[in-house]
Amino acid sequence: MFLVLGVGAGAVYAAIGLGLVLTWRASRVVNFAHGAMAMYATYVFVELRVAGDLILPVVGIPARVHLAPSVAFFPALVVATAVAGALGLAVHGLVFRPLARAGPLARVVASVGLAGRPTAWPRAAGSSAASSPAWAASWSRRSRA
């Protein structure tokens, strides 16, 4: 059991590290928002599993879309991965591509400025995962069942 947990955690660390290296090699920017964007994808996954709600960070549309009472593991994983990819493309297209010819300080400031936004979106949507650790009890009960 601990071997599986250790390999899973190591795979997450490797994926986040690979994303940082890929961002650096492609744009020469250390993306300080990388971890916050990964945390947003985690909020999306947990909220889908616990409440069946999709948290959307887009202004002008509902912050939450109720899909089901609870979403199974693999569909929630696919949706969270797709949301993370869409968020990454949006950040690249709206923030980092326009700053391609800017100086390094401007790119770092933009990256640091983005770092707090993805983690604030679930709180603004009223996410149970973001507002309190009370979801942990229902999560552990579900994983044992």
List the chain pLDDT tens, one digit each, 145 residues: 888 889 988 998 898 888 888 888 877 778 888 888 888 888 889 888 888 888 877 767 777 888 888 888 999 999 999 998 998 888 888 888 888 888 888 888 888 888 876 666 665 556 555 554 444 455 555 555 5
**Coil/strand/helix, residue 70:** coil
CA distance 132 to 11: 26
132 φψ region: left (φ > 0), alpha (ψ -120 to 50), beta (else): beta
Give the residue from 121, 142, 138 showing the smallest Cα distance to 73. 142
Amino acid at 29: V
Give, for 121, the enclosing helix (H) or strand (E).
helix 117-124
pTM of the full structure: 0.71
Give the residue from 17, 36, 23, 128 showing the smallest Cα distance to 84. 36
